[in-house]
């Protein structure tokens, strides 16, 4: 698992790649906690390169939502993540956008 942070139009984008599980998801939780303490803009978790995620990952994302509220946005889910989000109904708790650009600026046309 790897996280590459970048700034994009006032938002912190965390590009996550690889497999996310109990053994390696802690850095994502730490990045979300840091973003909650240090920033005020949107925090976008880009999921296009995530091949696998377990329940620990879901927990980390929900804890991030608790800390960040509507600032936390998921973007560009991989086919695996899209299926996981749909099966768990995560999209009812977290906003999910088809692209990073739309997550950064939801007023953009789809």
Q: Which domains does the chain have, with CATH numbers?
A: 2-104 (3.30.750.24)
Predicted pLDDT of residue 95: 96
CA 48, CA 15: separation in Å to the nearest integer? 8
Please state the pTM of the whole predicted model: 0.94
pLDDT tens, the chain, 110 aa long = 999 999 999 999 999 999 999 999 999 999 999 999 998 899 999 999 999 999 999 999 999 999 999 999 999 999 999 999 999 999 999 999 999 999 998 776 65
What's the pLDDT score for residue 108? 66
Is residue 79 classed exposed, middle or buried when 0-12, 13-18 and 19+ CB atoms within 10 A define those classes? exposed
**Calpha distance 63→44 (Å, rounded):** 15
């Amino acid at each position: 698992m790897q996280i590459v942070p970048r700034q994009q139009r006032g938002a912190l984008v965390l590009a996550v790649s690889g497999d996310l599980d109990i053994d390696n998801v802690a850095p994502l939780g730490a990045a979300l906690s840091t973003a909650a303490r240090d920033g005020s803009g949107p925090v976008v978790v880009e999921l296009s390169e995530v091949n696998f995620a377990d329940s620990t990952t879901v927990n980390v994302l929900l804890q991030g939502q608790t800390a960040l509220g509507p600032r936390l946005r998921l973007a560009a889910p991989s086919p695996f993540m899209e299926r996981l989000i749909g099966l768990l109904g995560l999209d009812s708790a977290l906003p999910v956008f088809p692209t990073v650009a739309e997550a950064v600026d939801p007023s953009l046309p789809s």
